Amino acid sequence: MLSTDDFDASFGSAPVAPCITVRIVRTEEQMSVLMQRFTAYVIEVNDFGRMKECSHRYSEFETLHKALMPFCPGLPAMPPKGADGTDSAVIAARKGELEKILRFLLASSEALMDKELNLWKFLEMGNPSVIVGRFVMVPRARPIVLKTMAKLNDDKYKDDVYRLGHSSVLDLLMEGLRETRRGGSSDSHWAVQSGGTSALCQLVAGALGTTQDARDRLLDLDVITALLGIVQTEESALDDARPALNVIVAREGERLPGIVSRFLMRGGVAQLLDLVQRPKCQEFVAKLLWLAWDASTRSAFAQPGGQGLKVLQTLLRSSTASCSLLGAVLLAGMVAGGEFQEPSHRAEALRLVTMTLERPEAAKEPTFAKTLCGGASSLVRLAAMLEDPDLAPLVLNLLCTAKPPANKLGQISGNLASLLKGSTGHSEQTRARAAELLLHIQGSGGSPTAAPVSQSMLSNGDVYSSGGYPGPGSAPRPQTQAAGSARSSINDLLERCEGIAAHEESMEAALRTQLEEGVAKGCQALEQHAMGVREVSAMSQHRLKELPALNFQSFERAMSEFKTAREALARDVKRAEGLHDTIERQLKDLQTARPSSVDPHLFKEKLLQAERLYAEVKSQREALASAEAEAREASSRSEASSSKLRSSGDAVKRYDSELQQLRTQRTQKETEAAQLRSKANMPGLMDMKQQAQENIERNLAEAKQLQVIGQRVQQGDPDYLRDGETREQKIAELTSKLAELKRQHQVLLQKQKEYDIDPVGLSDKASRLENEAAELDIRIHGLEDKLREVERTRAEASGESMRDSEDARIAKDRRSSLQARLSSMEQEVKVQLSSLQPMIQDQHSGWQRLLEKQKKLDDDQYNLVARLADSRRAAEEEARTRDNAAGAVQDLVQSLLGYASFLEQCSGDPLPVAYSAPSAAIPALAPAAPSPDPFQAETSPSCFAETSPSCFEEDFEQARTPKPSPAQLPVVEAAPAPTAAPAATPAPAPAAAPAPAPAPALAEPAAVAAPAAVPAAVPEAAVESTTMNDDDFDAFLKEDLTVSFGLEGREASDAGQAALAPPDDADTL
């Protein structure tokens, strides 16, 4: 739990950055518990970028002021009391002064470091705010709160960790990283303290996980360089820096290659070169590079003789086998990406990759498989390597050893399937490895094939799988989503039929080739080792005779060692013989083995039958598609005919409506013309006009009279008032009469207007209307003709529509019939494929079993070599202990001469066993002629020629220095044979040879040499090989590689291994 500490107040302080600010934004009138009104000042607090509010009344400000006054000299005084606290003028004055007090307190280290937390509690800020605030704003508090602040990464503080992403905190964290990298004294900086590095890295990890802006800021400040710089200063800090770097890897995702590329351009290659020299950091560097091993990252490593290649060389010679493998994979990525422009550079890089990836035993670790295939981008890089014929067998061998999950490998199964085709230019070994991985995918329930993954998919992560077998020339298809209907499942099942025979045949050919090659190599190796088994067996029968009983304690130790050596020799020989017999039985089983009990001809016939059925289904589908097209065409014609019929009907309706409108207009015009002529011929028109004029004049006269009376009445003339009638009543009466006269006047004006007509004009207007009616009549006749034509067209369209509808019905019936037939055939194919699927699975499982047996045979062959080497070492040990025992016996009295004679009889070897094998001689323990340096013989001029300097020249000068020949190696001279006591019949003592000379196989050397004996004669092809064999490579992985690429200091160990290793022409996987 975060807690505040009792800090030492003897240090001075100075604010660093305004990460916490306050502002009084408004006031509110509130009611107290005693129902009294008071003014509350609302404070807006900026807590590392997040805003919140708290409110306090004047009295609470006063309490805070009194509590901090003794610790904060210069604290502004409180605004005066006694005024009305609710007055607006008082509130405004107090608001500014109170805000000034709060800002002063935030700038005072004494207030911030107050033990009672008065200011923090007043602002309602919890312990996280207190700790981080003191870290930023009080420099003397930083060394004390550093470790406490690291607890913000706990899950219970997930809502408070955002404060670590503030810019002020980020700047301080980067300052601490830089100071820690410089390694100052314990009292020179707050970050340099016991446990400070761990806490600082935890805080950086938390800050990186807050927001994208915080990560971008730290990356711009080169946080990767700072973290790795701490590891450079103190190697144990790798565990502290790793979580922060893991946050970058996890959160950045696709941006990681660009980030790592920028880091490398800023000098990160030199940092990695320094880190990779430390065994603890090698695995971390290798994983980091592999996660970001895109073109932008690889470009920083492609400079010949540069620091980037030195990093890869150090990884290649790492004592950790997984690091060495990852280094080889990184170098292979550069080869596949075309980073080496010079052919000699590429050849040398390919040689180094081959040396490391020939026997990738360390790839069996689950963590290595997870690292190798952890992300989609990693799979894309591996897929790009598969396109290179030189790298494909090495990468496939690595994947076969690592055995990543099938769901991961399924994403590149399309690339693996494409390698099975004979036209790709890949070797039989490559195709066999690809087939083995496809069997692994299918055996684990993965997708049988997938679309090939290309380098262009790296940018958008488009790595997908698809069901089905890719037929010849077929393009890979993306995986379709599983449909809910039965038809879609049948389609997915049927798509697997296309090309299934060719796919299975190519896979079977590749697997059979691998199995036959393994059997042939096993036979060859067995023939080569058979002589050795017979030799050690004959030697053991000759030497392991029953010893005479000796009860003397003087030579008990020599006897004990001698017996132990004999037992070891017998045990090792028995193991070699048993393993030899086991290999013979395995070879016999493999030579006659079949992948399953299914008849190959029957299996092939069923595959072809499935393809034929699928071809029929495909033909029926095409017929159905044609029928559907015909049905759609007939339906389209029917719809067109119906549309034409509807158009004709619409035209008939339109013409009927238009005719009705024209007839109505004609009738209206004729009626209006008749009315106008009747009005023009009206009798007594002039008299009616004169009468209307007289009525209007009479109405005007009455209105004028009423107006005069009204004026008189308003003037007070009583003559117009009746008895008892008031002036107002009279004016109302006159107003009413005047209104009635006005209404009558309007009616008379309307009549006058009606009588005011021109008979000639009306007659002309009537004539015009009659002419318009005649024109409408002509239009009516024309529309009637058109209507008859449209009706005839509609009748024809009706007949055509009926014919087209019938054709559409017939086409639909044919389509339904074909669809039913297709469904039946699809069901038949489904049944056929369901019965074929177990046979395919059985065949694949059989091939997997045979491959496992073949691999076990390879392992047994390799173990047999080790058993023979153990037997030879046991023979050497037996010879040494026997010589010691012989020396002890010769020191005994004459009574022990019988025992010495027995030992002399055992010192000879049996006659060589005849063996008619055509293979080369089995390596023996006897000294042989000096062997030339395998790293100089037949060296390609493109790698180490003076005319074309090597891109690895600077670190491989020692590798180019010739190794001393076996004859030059120091040999321990044998001790002279002890002088026997005088006797009548002196026992013959072994004589020391002055110089090593060739001897028969397993012959006892006259002089006892050191365990690192001179190697026996090996075939010339093995001596002239420019690459290490498998045993040398295993020793190369396990030895102390502190010298340049593991070539210095290995003369003695190489000589010893050469004596025990099989010849190079015996392929020991």
DSSP for 123-164, written as a single string: TT--HHHHHHHHHHH-GGGHHHHHHHHGGGGSGGGTTTGGGG
**Rounded distance between C-alpha atoms, residue 448 and residue 450, angstroms:** 7
Q: Quick check: 742 and 734 in contact, CB under 8 A?
A: no
Structure-block tokens of residue 205: 């990890």
Buried/exposed 531-556: b ≥16 CB within 10 Å, e otherwise = bbbbbbbbbbeebeeeeeeeeeeebe
Work out the burial of residue 335: count CB atoms within 10 Å of its CB; fewer than 13 is exposed, 13-18 middle, 19 or more buried: buried
Cβ-Cβ contacts under 8 Å for 370 (sequence gap 6 or more)? none
- What's the full length of the chain, in residues? 1069
Structure-block tokens of residue 939: 């060296």
Query: 47 by DSSP, 3-state: which?
Result: strand
Work out the burial of residue 968: count CB atoms within 10 Å of its CB; fewer than 13 is exposed, 13-18 middle, 19 or more buried: exposed
Residue 466, beta-bridge partner list = 449
Residue 919 DSSP label = S
pLDDT at 466: 37
Alpha helices in 264-373 (DSSP H): 269-276, 279-291, 295-298, 307-316, 321-336, 343-357, 366-372
Structure-block tokens of residue 683: 């009798």
pLDDT at 43: 95
Work out the burial of residue 994: count CB atoms within 10 Å of its CB; fewer than 13 is exposed, 13-18 middle, 19 or more buried: exposed
pLDDT at 695: 87
Cβ-Cβ contacts under 8 Å for 528 (sequence gap 6 or more)? 917, 919, 920, 922, 1062, 1063, 1066
How many other C-beta atoms can be found within 10 angstroms of the C-beta atom of residue 400?
18
Cβ-Cβ contacts under 8 Å for 540 (sequence gap 6 or more)? 569, 570, 573
> What stretch of H or E contains 53?
strand 50-57
Triad 904, 907, 911: Cα angle to 5°: 125
Q: What does residue 1062 show for φ and ψ, rounded to 5 degrees? A: -75, 160
pLDDT at 421: 73
**Rounded distance between C-alpha atoms, residue 566 and residue 875, angstroms:** 8
Q: Quick check: 903 and 568 in contact, CB under 8 A?
A: no
pLDDT at 662: 86
Q: Quick check: 437 and 406 in contact, CB under 8 A?
A: no
Structure-block tokens of residue 668: 């209206």
Query: 913 by DSSP, 3-state: which?
Result: coil
> What stretch of H or E contains 493?
helix 486-495
Low-confidence residues in the chain, pLDDT < 70: 1-17, 33-35, 82-86, 184-187, 422-424, 444-499, 548-555, 891-900, 907-1069
Structure-block tokens of residue 970: 């120091």
Buried/exposed 997-1013: b ≥16 CB within 10 Å, e otherwise = eebebbbbbebbbeebb
Residue with token string 């502004």 = 76
Work out the burial of residue 1052: count CB atoms within 10 Å of its CB; fewer than 13 is exposed, 13-18 middle, 19 or more buried: middle
Amino acid at 521: K
Residue with token string 């705010």 = 129
